[in-house]
Chains A and B, each alone.
Chain A
Amino acid sequence: MTATATSRLSGLPDSTSDLRTFLHGLPGVDKVGVEARAAALGTRSVKTTAKAQAIDLAIRMVDLTTLEGADTPGKVRALSAKALRPDPADPTCPRVAAVCVYPAMVPHAAEVLAGSGVHLASVATAFPSGQAPLDVKLADTRDAVAAGADEIDMVISRGAFLAGDYRTVFDEIVAVKEACGPAHLKVILETGELATYDNVRRASWLAMLAGADFIKTSTGKVPVAATLPVTLIMLEAVRDFRERYGRQVGVKPAGGIRTTKDAIKYLVMINETVGDDWLSPDWFRFGASSLLNDLLMQRTKLTTGHYAGPDYFTLD
């Protein structure tokens, strides 16, 4: 297994059936077990100084996202300014990890973020459905990189994946990775459409084998987005992948994470499953928009000693 898999990492797998055999040879997920484990890890209470550190870490992990048809250059500039100074009233507040926008909005975000150290992520490859020809997806990716994005969030073709056509999905990821050039590639599995936990595990391995730098749960455009059990399976996948191949891959849950309490549950889960190595914005991100305001309100509560209100933070 190890020998063939290593050759897979260095080059493309020999055949469609070979890839299929590998993915279906992954151990099945114990549904009840993973849900119970995720629920148990979610009960941990984090207080005072540990909470303050967790909040700052979570802010540093946020990919501040706006992916709406109604996005305007002005809104994207405002969001980028917020990424640089999330809490204008408190200069000690850390910056977020990245701003995540549509390709057409990349130049507007780049204006504000250039040279700041805050990354600029762009969704690409016919986000969110992924239902477009490969050359369109590659052109989408190249345009976003050329416009200044240094991270690309691509979607896999769920249609092909669910039809069992793993080779097509694999080849697409490889091609998009190549089109990214120096930019980091995050591969969105859209776990809400994958139907089973087994498929989440398979899609995670497939994306990592094809060269993903990050695996990401969701687009945020389907009803079921990031959940704790799905993220747990993905964390286990990146842990096992590194153990086997020595390459570390990041994880990004996205969509539906709105409160500080939720975010801290994820941090606890990282700590308990993959350890410190992933407790950094380089290896773990939150794809979110409203989460940031809740983190800032909790942070303000800890620094001022009284409860904060949403009137005092920007709407975005």
Chain B
Amino acid sequence: MPESSTRLSVRKTYKLYVGGKFPRSESGRTYLVDGDNVSLASRKDARDAVVAARAAQPKWAGATAYNRGQVLYRIAEMAEARRAEFVSLGVAAAEVDAAIDRWVWYAGWSDKIAQVAGGANPVAGPFFNISAPEPTGVVAVVAPASLLGLVSVVAPAVVTGNTVVVVAGNPQVAVTLAEVLATSDVPAGVVNILTGHAAEIAPWLASHDDVNAVDLSGVDDADLATELERAAAGTLKRVLRPTAAPDWTADPGVGPMTALLETKTVWHPKGF
């Protein structure tokens, strides 16, 4: 080849992550984000993502806590290999490290949260009375733009057996994380990521009868957040709406996990 020829670079289109695959938007739309071509999700992509999340949920919740913990740890392993890519997207190296560490931190919680959020209850009668936390179901998340913020809302939801539909705050960062998830033994449909405008997609998720909770951590517009809360009320969804801008670097505590758990209490007769 002549010296003057230069290689044509292979340019990447950032696509959606739905049901373990990377489809383009069914609408065929794309938009430019910092010079990158990104699929622009429509309400029908949101609908498909909910279908994928619902289909994956029982099996993910039925997996052992030990297995879910392993999968989350595997995410951290794979993310570690992609540190440079996250940094090249403009994420500070320290934040990438914190995000990876957060996966490990939540991985450790998978088989411990039940002891914290549940347990044996003392009752005045001949019964064993046991409370156990169970996942809420399908959670729609409007994610913050930062990588650490994204991990800090997705990890606590999925570690307990929920499945999520995420409206990405920063498309390139979220899709790169999706590429990590796709190679980490996370079952298809457990995490689904949509890139596009929250104002366009989120209302369909908030009003969707088959979504059990919405996390509005990444909604900056107070009017939109209020509109989403109102839409979510139609089916009595759990709504997480931070009152102040969250500090993602702080110790999250168990709050983000217990917010997306439902308590099941069993009365079992004894002494017969």
Residues of A within 8 A of B (CB): 300, 305-312
Min CB distance B46 to A, Å, is: 8
Cα–Cα distance between A308 and B207 once the two chains are bound (Å): 9
Min CB distance A232 to B, Å, is: 27
Q: Which residue of B lies closest to A305 (CB)?
A: B207
Can you give 5 contacting A-B residue pairs, CB < 8 Å? A305-B207, A306-B204, A309-B235, A310-B210, A311-B209
**Which chain B residues border A309 with CB–CB below 8 Å?**
208-211, 235
Cα–Cα distance between A291 and B194 once the two chains are bound (Å): 28
**Which chain A residues border B208 with CB–CB below 8 Å?**
306-307, 309
Which among B207, B209, B211, B231 has the highest number of chain A CB atoms within 10 Å?
B209
Beyond known contacts A306-B207, A307-B204, A311-B210: 15 more, CB 8 A cutoff: A306-B204, A306-B208, A306-B209, A306-B231, A307-B47, A307-B50, A307-B208, A307-B209, A308-B209, A308-B210, A309-B208, A309-B210, A309-B235, A310-B210, A311-B209
Interface assignment of B246: CB less than 8 Å from any CB of chain A: no
Cα–Cα distance between A71 and B211 once the two chains are bound (Å): 32
**Which chain A residues border B47 with CB–CB below 8 Å?**
307
Interface size counted on chain B using CB atoms at 8 A: 11
Min CB distance B205 to A, Å, is: 9
Min CB distance B212 to A, Å, is: 9
Min CB distance A284 to B, Å, is: 28
Min CB distance A50 to B, Å, is: 18
Q: Which residue of B lies closest to A297 (CB)?
A: B209
- Which B226-259 residues sit within 8 Å CB-CB of chain A? 231, 234-235
Cα–Cα distance between A306 and B202 once the two chains are bound (Å): 12
Which among A300, A305, A310, A311 has the highest number of chain B CB atoms within 10 Å?
A311
> Would you call the interface of chain B mostly helix, strand, loop, or mixed?
loop
- Which B185-223 residues sit within 8 Å CB-CB of chain A? 204, 207-211
Min CB distance B49 to A, Å, is: 11
Min CB distance B8 to A, Å, is: 35
Chain B 44-82 per-residue mask, 1 if CB under 8 angstroms from chain A, else 0: 000100100000000000000000000000000000000
**Which chain A residues border B231 with CB–CB below 8 Å?**
306
Q: Which residue of A lies closest to B47 (CB)?
A: A307
Q: Which residue of B lies closest to A307 (CB)?
A: B208
Min CB distance A304 to B, Å, is: 9
Q: Which residue of B lies closest to A313 (CB)?
A: B209
Q: Which residue of A lies closest to B46 (CB)?
A: A307
**Which chain B residues border A307 with CB–CB below 8 Å?**
47, 50, 204, 207-210
Cα–Cα distance between A306 and B209 once the two chains are bound (Å): 8
Min CB distance B174 to A, Å, is: 23
Cα–Cα distance between A312 and B212 once the two chains are bound (Å): 13
Cα–Cα distance between A311 and B138 once the two chains are bound (Å): 12
Min CB distance A236 to B, Å, is: 33
Cα–Cα distance between A300 and B207 once the two chains are bound (Å): 13
Q: Which residue of A lies closest to B234 (CB)?
A: A306
**Which chain A residues border B235 with CB–CB below 8 Å?**
309
**Which chain A residues border B210 with CB–CB below 8 Å?**
307-311
Q: Which residue of A lies closest to B208 (CB)?
A: A307
**Which chain B residues border A308 with CB–CB below 8 Å?**
209-210
**Which chain B residues border A311 with CB–CB below 8 Å?**
209-210
Min CB distance B58 to A, Å, is: 12
Min CB distance A11 to B, Å, is: 55
Min CB distance A315 to B, Å, is: 14
Cα–Cα distance between A307 and B43 once the two chains are bound (Å): 10
Min CB distance B262 to A, Å, is: 14
Q: Which residue of B lies closest to A310 (CB)?
A: B210
Cα–Cα distance between A310 and B207 once the two chains are bound (Å): 14
**Which chain A residues border B234 with CB–CB below 8 Å?**
306
**Which chain B residues border A300 with CB–CB below 8 Å?**
209
**Which chain B residues border A306 with CB–CB below 8 Å?**
204, 207-209, 231, 234
Cα–Cα distance between A300 and B211 once the two chains are bound (Å): 16
Min CB distance A27 to B, Å, is: 40
Q: Which residue of B lies closest to A300 (CB)?
A: B209
Min CB distance A301 to B, Å, is: 9
Min CB distance B135 to A, Å, is: 15
Cα–Cα distance between A312 and B210 once the two chains are bound (Å): 9
Cα–Cα distance between A286 and B104 once the two chains are bound (Å): 52
Closest 8 CB pairs of A and B: A309-B210, A309-B209, A306-B207, A307-B208, A308-B209, A312-B209, A307-B47, A307-B209
**Which chain B residues border A305 with CB–CB below 8 Å?**
207
Which among B204, B210, B231, B234 has the highest number of chain A CB atoms within 10 Å?
B210
Q: Which residue of A lies closest to B235 (CB)?
A: A309
Cα–Cα distance between A312 and B47 once the two chains are bound (Å): 17
Cα–Cα distance between A305 and B231 once the two chains are bound (Å): 11
Which among B231, B234, B235 has the highest number of chain A CB atoms within 10 Å?
B235
Cα–Cα distance between A306 and B204 once the two chains are bound (Å): 7
Q: Which residue of A lies closest to B205 (CB)?
A: A307
Min CB distance B235 to A, Å, is: 8
